Amino acid sequence: MTQAQIEIRVLASLSQIAAEDWDACACPEAADGTRPLDPFTTHRFLSALEDSGSVGPGTGWQPQYLTAYQDGLLIACAPLYAKGHSQGEYIFDHNWAHAYEQAGGHYYPKLQVAVPFTPATGRRFLVRPGFDGIGHSALVQGAVQLAADNKLSSLHVTFCTQDEARMGAEMGLMRRSTQQFHWQNDGYADFEGFMRALSSRKRKNIRKERMQAQCFGGEIRVFQGGSLQPEHWDAFWEFYQDTGARKWGAPYLTRQFFDIAHHTMAQNMALILAERNGRYVAGALNFIGRETLYGRYWGCVEHHPCLHFELCYYQAIELAIALGLDRAEAGAQGEHKLARGYLPCETHSLHWIGDPGFAGAVERYLEAERAATEEEIEILTDYGPFRKAQVEEQE
């Protein structure tokens, strides 16, 4: 490092660092016991992934946690992984990998600063307050140096914040823009308040979908914090396995992850379950941040019209309003979310590629992609479900 007082260490396990030290960088806003901005970079969440075997040997996600110390004090850290594939990232670089290997290179392993299996925007360079500039610089330089020293093809920082994307670009990383669909709480008192902001046609469609969903023949219940019980996770694991098998070939998370999270993170989770004839038939898992409800997983063992929309989107909106949150995120992709009140939002990532020629080609691609993403967001927002004028036809 250029600054001798900064020591960079790479840790193979979070057990090598105290939770309070990591969280002093990851979520200093939660030092008083309140919720972190997002729970995904907390020591307890990342430890649950590691301790459950969801990441580690055989998964293609090998922990290489990056830490920066000044005079023995941890001033910055990052969830860094050596990746043997591009699964579970949601910022797709499969085409890059194919082109790199067609040209005779080895794209894998690569380095990834990310929260595994979690397409939710949040801080990726975790810096203790008071060390912002030096901590961020140390992590970026340390990650790039680690990739270069080990002759790895690339480094990727996915779902970082806009500020991190700007700072990373200033330090020479390549910036990428993609999009998701998020619901914004415009001070709604309840779901009907949100509905009044929509166009007449969209209100009718949503009411129709909610009525169809409620006809599944059972009851929808929300479990949060202390109301979560082991049997709820037994049911949800069945749903999650079905979704994982269909989408990814195998579930990313192990069964043990949910058991560990139940004991360490119940206050940060809400499970929305549909029960019919004494059996849970569908469910959606949400994580709760200080300002945002994060919709993460959905699954079912019975298919009923519109039940997916109800549990994943409409119930999430109701819960976000009830909790006084600013927004609800519904995961990656999905233009079908637009008609249900979720508007397109820009997401950010950063990339470093060691080969200068290949890096130049990727940079040209990213420049065109950023322009296309900006245009698409503008177009989709204009087609959004909200009223375009104060006066609207009567329903």
pTM of the model: 0.94
Task: Please give the angle made by the CA atoms of 333, 320 and 89, to the nearest 5 degrees.
Answer: 30
Residue 308: HSE in the Cβ half-sphere, 13 Å Cα cutoff: 14
User: For residue 5, what pLDDT is reported?
Assistant: 87
Q: What is the mean pLDDT of residues 26-42?
A: 96
Q: Residue 114 has which token pair?
A: 């990310």
CB 222 within 8 A of CB 319: yes
Task: Tell me the per-residue pLDDT of 80-107, one tens digit each, with 9 for 90 and over.
Answer: 999 999 999 999 999 999 999 999 999 9
User: For residue 245, what pLDDT is reported?
Assistant: 65
Task: Tell me the per-residue pLDDT of 133-166, one tens digit each, with 9 for 90 and over.
Answer: 999 999 999 999 999 999 999 999 999 999 999 9
Task: Tell me the per-residue pLDDT of 113-125, one tens digit each, with 9 for 90 and over.
Answer: 999 999 999 999 9
Task: Tell me the per-residue pLDDT of 211-265, one tens digit each, with 9 for 90 and over.
Answer: 999 999 999 999 999 999 999 999 999 999 877 666 666 789 999 999 999 999 9
CB 68 within 8 A of CB 127: no
* DSSP characters over 269-292: EEEEEEEETTEEEEEEEEEE-SSE
Q: Residue 255 has which token pair?
A: 């069964």
User: For residue 395, what pLDDT is reported?
Assistant: 41
